[in-house]
Structure formats: structure tokens, C-alpha cells
């Protein structure tokens, strides 16, 4: 396996693990996550749909079909991470590191995926 493919699969695997872990937390600790959403002044009714959207996005990123849905999945996860960074920054929470790591993994997966899995 060439190095680009290895980098792609490591980044995509870590990205998948990050978002599946997040979705699992959203579905199992819904009350706690709703509390965080209230702290960030986000509507709490978004918790369950966000969990489902994260799971579906990872599925489409791994399948890579249809291509346009895969592109939207990457975009949705990117916006999720950017908004998470702003939310943590807004309340002066030091938890901004994980969304930044997620953005890096997402960008590496996206751009290496274009050459490795066209």
C-alpha cells in the first residue's frame, strides 16, 4: 500500500471513530448533551438529528457513493466542526482542541481521498 493510501485510511478511520463516538454520546447521554447545547445557546431539539446526521455522513464518506452525497457529507461535518470551534471559543471553553483535530482529519481525508479513491 502506498503512503498516500495509508494516510487516507488512517485519517478517515480516526475521523470515523471521532464522529461515531460523538454520535454514540449524543444518543446515550442525551440529557448531558442537551445541557451543553443550552450552554452554547443552541436548540436542544437538534441533538438526536445531529447524531443521526453524523452516522449517515460517515456511512456515505466510507461508501463514497453517490459522489455528490459524499461531498455534502464532508461539507456537513466540516461545518459541524467549525461551529463547534466557535461555540467552545464563545464560552471560553478549552475543549476546542478536539474540533480542531477533527477539522485536520477531515481535510486530510477529503484531499487524500480525491487522489486515492477517485
Whether residue 79 has pLDDT greater than 80 = yes
pLDDT on residue 111: 97
> Which whole number is the average pLDDT over 60-67?
95
Q: Rounded CA gap, 66 and 46, in Å?
A: 26
pLDDT digits (tens, 9 = 90+) for 17-45: 999 999 999 999 999 999 989 988 899 99
Residues of the chain above pLDDT 90, percent: 81
Whether residue 92 has pLDDT greater than 90 = no
How sure is the predictor about 116, in pLDDT bands with cuts at 50, 70 and 90? very high
Q: How far is CA 72 from each of CA 50, 63, 66, 110, rounded to the nearest angstrom?
A: 15, 13, 10, 11
How sure is the predictor about 96, in pLDDT bands with cuts at 50, 70 and 90? confident
Whether residue 3 has pLDDT greater than 80 = yes
pLDDT on residue 7: 97
Q: Rounded CA gap, 11 and 91, in Å?
A: 29
Amino acid at each position: 500500500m502506498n503512503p498516500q493510501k495509508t494516510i487516507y485510511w488512517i485519517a478517515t478511520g480516526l475521523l470515523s471513530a471521532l464522529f461515531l463516538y460523538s454520535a454514540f454520546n449524543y444518543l446515550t447521554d442525551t440529557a448531558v448533551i442537551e445541557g451543553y447545547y443550552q450552554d452554547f445557546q443552541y436548540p436542544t431539539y437538534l441533538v438526536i438529528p445531529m447524531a443521526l446526521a453524523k452516522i449517515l455522513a460517515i456511512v456515505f464518506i466510507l461508501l463514497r457513493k453517490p459522489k455528490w452525497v459524499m461531498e455534502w457529507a464532508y461539507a456537513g461535518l466540516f461545518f459541524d466542526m467549525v461551529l463547534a470551534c466557535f461555540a467552545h471559543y464563545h464560552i471560553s471553553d478549552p475543549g476546542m482542541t478536539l474540533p480542531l483535530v477533527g477539522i485536520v482529519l477531515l481535510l486530510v481525508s477529503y484531499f487524500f481521498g480525491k487522489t486515492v479513491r477517485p
